[in-house]
Structure 1
């Protein structure tokens, strides 16, 4: 097994190398939009396999491995699939089914973690290929340089797996945002929900962005309104909403004190201006592109609006002790909202320059937040 400190060092070096490769490739013109860049896609697959192996072979017994030891404990104490006489299709049953199936075939804890890492990484690779065939490296590099990439791969693996499946579905939907496409991708959205129910806070904003609120100005207004309401009413607003929820885990995140163990470094209560400023970058970039520049890419607008609405849900719960658990959902889309404009529209030298600047800002912010 790879100890966590060494793992983080490997990951940071791989990210740096990938960012450098991205910058070098951007010195050349991208392929025309719609064309397939096979060499970039193979490089993305290669890097993805490395990350799957690193996350899978991590030291899950380490005191700094977050919830990894709990996941391993749950896996070792779940019963094999053959011992189940009546499978209960309630709650997050698909996650339980994956564990039981792996126990049935005799997977070790490390082999199970490799599979879970693959469920996290592979849908993202496929999604990058779908939404950016001319440069799949662009969204993938933004993804691995993001704040939550390593955290999701080590600590929040179930949330990461669910969000990854939702992202895969989003990539298919924004290519052809029709009811037929939504129905086609519904198995992915349902599977994500059955792995981690909180992914509904991505699915509902997605559906809203397609059928209800298509105007980005209105979506940004809603986001701003939730900030004002949170400042005025504090956690009373989150507590009122929690009364309508029967999800014990979600209620626990809202009402827990600061003494909890879960992601303690980021479990501060109060209005999180640091997280809010971090969340604002894709919104600012999206506003400039869609409102100021007048870009009419429907797929990008759906992705942007989905991010803003899901982030607005987090703002409602911003005073909660573990509000980061809600923020993580929208932040999964964060790197893709930043990256996609630079691959889905005709690039000028200025846009190429801005893409590099934004990537380095994102990566720099990641390094700072990881070391706070």
Structure 2
């Protein structure tokens, strides 16, 4: 078993290697072959199983942020010093922890959480990008926030993975819409912050004018620059901060968010899927209901984060849009006819996406 400090290096180098191999393969892939040929998913399934087992059975260590806090809560349930209140907020996660504490040790509980983090995400990739599900999942693995929410903000990560899966069902049949509703219900009762992406998903489902949604995002920048403090006070008064009392706050990206003022660097990071969406929908005039739903939901969620970008706790809101980032980026590249040399460009974008995560880790040191 790896020592705690070696988990992330092992992970990021494995994803980097997979991305390089995939990028080389895509260099000679035509648009037709990329979009019409179903690629095998077996290799990615094996990787995901290995990730679930290795990371799920990780040691309880401060290298994994809130893992230690969740472990102490779990030990409290095992000793009987912590009692589960069925009427408490986020009762589903607390109930899972309480029941599991009577039949298994904490590592096996983390293994279950890791399963519900990875499997819904992989399933969403396979449903939304059926012919290139493994490449879509590779985009997810290479995302800036992926590893952190598998070991640190595990409750938020699991809940947001259920939202991703719900997004793949919401435009389907009546039965599939019910499934989407059940998934959203579960996500909300695991982590109440998912109320934001659920609300944005509903708005994006009803209101599909992407141009106006993009204007709203631009307006959110103006609001943040002119009245950011007022907006921050308003949202902090809603109780988002109180929800985290009693356990260690997320530290995985504290250094990245520690600078004061408006974070133009993270705004630039966030705008990439939006710029691609503008190019696909308005420049290339390609219409896709699934893509519009994904893109509009992402933009709306990100707009709320932009309005809070100056705040000391904006990292807690960033993930509420960034968990969608890799799929919003990958979906048009892997399903829509954008460029003649689409395979080559997709490989380059994949590498840029993963290298950003890699260099952020190197900078953090």
Tell me which residue corresponds to 1:95: 93
The aligned runs of 1:96-175 (5 Å cut-off) are 96-105=94-103, 107-174=104-171
SS at match of 1:78: helix
Pair 1:265-2:248 in alignment: no
8 Å contact from structure 2 (residues 155, 191) kept in 1: yes
Pick from 268, 279, 288: which aligns with 1:297?
Answer: 288
SS at match of 2:102: helix
TM (norm. structure 2) is 0.90
Q: How far 1:221 sits from its partner (Å)?
A: 0.5
SS at match of 1:59: coil
C-alpha distance 313-261 of structure 1, shift in aligned 2 (>3 A): closer
The whole-number CA distance in structure 1 between the counterparts of 2:349 and 2:215 is 24
The whole-number CA distance in structure 2 between the counterparts of 1:357 and 1:54 is 29
8 Å contact from structure 2 (residues 274, 299) kept in 1: yes
The whole-number CA distance in structure 1 between the counterparts of 2:277 and 2:150 is 27
The whole-number CA distance in structure 2 between the counterparts of 1:228 and 1:344 is 34
Tell me which residue corresponds to 1:283: 274
Tell me which residue corresponds to 1:255: none
The whole-number CA distance in structure 2 between the counterparts of 1:35 and 1:188 is 30
C-alpha distance 350-32 of structure 1, shift in aligned 2 (>3 A): closer
8 Å contact from structure 1 (residues 4, 58) kept in 2: yes
8 Å contact from structure 1 (residues 95, 194) kept in 2: yes
8 Å contact from structure 1 (residues 152, 159) kept in 2: yes
SS at match of 1:340: helix
Tell me which residue corresponds to 1:57: 57
The aligned runs of 1:204-215 (5 Å cut-off) are 204-211=199-206, 213-215=207-209
Q: How far 1:16 sits from its partner (Å)?
A: 1.8
The whole-number CA distance in structure 1 between the counterparts of 2:298 and 2:283 is 19
| Count of aligned residue pairs for this structure pair | 356
Q: How far 1:312 sits from its partner (Å)?
A: 0.5
8 Å contact from structure 1 (residues 22, 141) kept in 2: no
Residues 176-226 of structure 1 deviation map (CA, whole Å, 9 limit, x = unaligned): 3x6664333111001001111111111111110010x31111111000101
The whole-number CA distance in structure 2 between the counterparts of 1:229 and 1:103 is 46
8 Å contact from structure 1 (residues 205, 306) kept in 2: yes
SS at match of 1:64: helix
The aligned runs of 1:1-372 (5 Å cut-off) are 2-26=2-26, 27-28=28-29, 36-37=38-39, 39=40, 41-61=41-61, 63-79=62-78, 88-105=86-103, 107-174=104-171, 176=172, 181-211=176-206, 213-243=207-237, 245-249=238-242, 262-263=251-252, 264-268=254-258, 269-346=260-337, 348-370=339-361, 371-372=363-364
- Unaligned runs of 5+ residues in structure 1 are 253-259
8 Å contact from structure 1 (residues 271, 318) kept in 2: yes
The whole-number CA distance in structure 2 between the counterparts of 1:159 and 1:74 is 16
SS at match of 1:148: coil
